[in-house]
Amino acid sequence: MAKPIIKIENLSASYRKNTVLHDVNFDVMSGSLTGIVGPNGAGKSTLLKTMLNLHPALAGSVSFFGLPFAKAKKRIGYVPQRGSVDWDFPTDALDVVTMGLYGQIGWLRRPGRLHKEKAYEALEKMGMADYADRQISQLSGGQQQRVFLARALVQHADIYFMDEPLAGVDATTERAIMTILKELKSIGKTVMVVHHDLQTVEDYFDHVLFLNQTVIKHGKTGHIFTKENIAKTYGGNMHWKGEVNQGVVHSFE
């Protein structure tokens, strides 16, 4: 069996004095598309941030390709929550996508024509080419999310982490994003996505990670996406109506 590309062992993290994550263990295989689901406050965003060294870990270890984060970061792309930035910032869509290349461009250099072209291609891929010169505050929520995705694409990473890329977006954007995610998976990239809509988990992800402060269950969606595991993760507060494909079940954000 192949070696895991992401390995998390005994990871713990806290906000202030509240423990948000404790004893998190899981391995992720290369080429998988994993949905991270769990109730509000389950630590989904914190898990991503802690893995990426954006939030301090209290204990445990994180490794990518067998290396610590610092040595692997050039191969990792991160899409933060859309609400984490100020969309009134004086810049346009193309410029935001170009930011994804800043790591490759390096210090004391400016983005050149080649970089702009790469950024433009990524926008094109997300169906956003017409909006390249648009001030970012003039974009709809879904368009902003697509700009964020385009920015991650130009990084040409091997592993992608995305924090709620489908939250509050229109249907077109959701389709565009899922097409890209499946394409990334098909070319062997590994993608982990914080997701909030239980109804679409089975359609979108081949792996699912149930999280509520610790890993409740992690594995192939077909095997573990069951009523029992959902109830266990959401603490039985969810009204799970009938079978998997019926009824609307959201964990409202």
Partner 1 sequence: MTYTGWIILTAALVGLSCGITGVFLILRKQAMMADAISHTVLLGIVIAFLITSEVSGPYMLIGGIFAGLLTAFLVQWLNSLKVQQDAGLGIVFTTLFAIGVILIATSAGNAHLDIQHALMGEITFIPFNTVTLPIIGDVPQATVLLAAVLIIVVITITLFYKEWKITSFDPALAASIGIPVLLMHYVFMSLVSITTVASFDAVGAIMVVAMLITPAASAYLWTDKLHNMLLLSGAFGVISAITGYYVAAWIDTSISGSMAFMTGIVFFISFIFSPKHGLIVKYV
Q: Which residues bind partner 1 (CB under 8 A)?
A: 16, 49, 52-54, 73-74, 76, 78, 80, 84-86, 89-92, 96, 99-100, 102-103, 105, 107-108, 110-111, 135, 137, 151, 155
The CA distance from 215 to 203, in Å, is: 22
CB 91 to partner 1: min, Å: 6
- Name which of 112 and 236 has its Cβ closer to partner 1: 112
Tokens of 181: 């995610």
CB 54 to partner 1: min, Å: 6
CB 28 to partner 1: min, Å: 18
CB 221 to partner 1: min, Å: 27
- Name which of 69 and 240 has its Cβ closer to partner 1: 69
- Name which of 125 and 151 has its Cβ closer to partner 1: 151
- Name which of 85 and 231 has its Cβ closer to partner 1: 85
- Name which of 49 and 218 has its Cβ closer to partner 1: 49
CB 89 to partner 1: min, Å: 5
Tokens of 82: 């859309």
